[in-house]
Amino acid sequence: MTEIGSLRRALADAALAVEAAYPYEGCGWLLYDRHGWRARPVRNRLIDIAPARARRRFEMAPGELIEVLSAVDRADTRLVAVYHSHPDAPALPSAADLRAWAPSGTPLYPGVTMLIGEVGAGRWQRWRAHRWFDSRLAEVAIEVGLAVPEDIRAPAGYHRE
């Protein structure tokens, strides 16, 4: 899997990762830095410890999550979106997603987009993006949810999508 690439390539990588997790939920991050976009899949630890639950829930493996967050600390990298998949279910936030996203009513990751991928019969179908506005989650167009962070300049010749 490429480390560097455009948004389209990163989304394709994320789609492959959630297909590979099927029939369980897959999860990960979409990151942006001066090299462009990339997907960073993270293991859904429920697949290992509670597979029946992993069909409708995800929990990022803590070690991998710490790796991602440490890399963000070190470099000028943005966590633009967290993604997960809904196997054989619509790409809309569940009650569990809302509780996990904002356990006390405010989002754990302010400004980060929630991207949900519908995977039907093992094949990725679509992404839908949601963002937090005025204490509720609202659907936004993909290009709004995955806008290039304005404070990071991509190198010359890199084409934004």
Of the candidate residues 64, 94, 100, 149, the single one contacting Zn ion (CB under 5 A): 94
Q: Which is nearer to Zn ion, 57 or 78 (CB)?
A: 57
Residue 160 C-beta: closest distance to Zn ion, Å = 28
Among 37-45, 95-103, 141-149, 151-159, the segment contacting Zn ion (CB under 5 A) = 95-103
What are 29's strand-pairing partners?
A: 40, 82
CB of 130 to Zn ion, least distance (A): 10
Stretch that binds Zn ion, among 68-76, 97-105, 121-129, 140-148 (CB under 5 A): 97-105
The secondary structure of the chain as a DSSP string is --SSB-HHHHHHHHHHHHHHHTTS--EEEEEEETTEEEEEEE-BTHHHH-HHHHTT---B-HHHHHHHHHHHHHTT-EEEEEEEEEETS-SS--HHHHHHH-TTSS-SSTTPEEEEEEEETTEEEEEEEEEEETTEEEEE-HHHHTPPPTTSPPPTTPPP-
Using CB under 5 A, pick the residue from 18, 39, 83, 97 that binds Zn ion: 97
| Range in contact with Zn ion (rule: CB under 5 A) among 1-9, 67-75, 96-104, 135-143 | 96-104
Stretch near Zn ion under the rule CB under 5 A, chosen from 11-19, 61-69, 91-99, 120-128: 91-99
Q: Does 118 interact with Zn ion (rule: CB under 5 A)?
A: no
CB 80 within 8 A of CB 111: no
Please report, as ranges, the residues that interact with Zn ion according to CB under 5 A. Answer: 94, 97
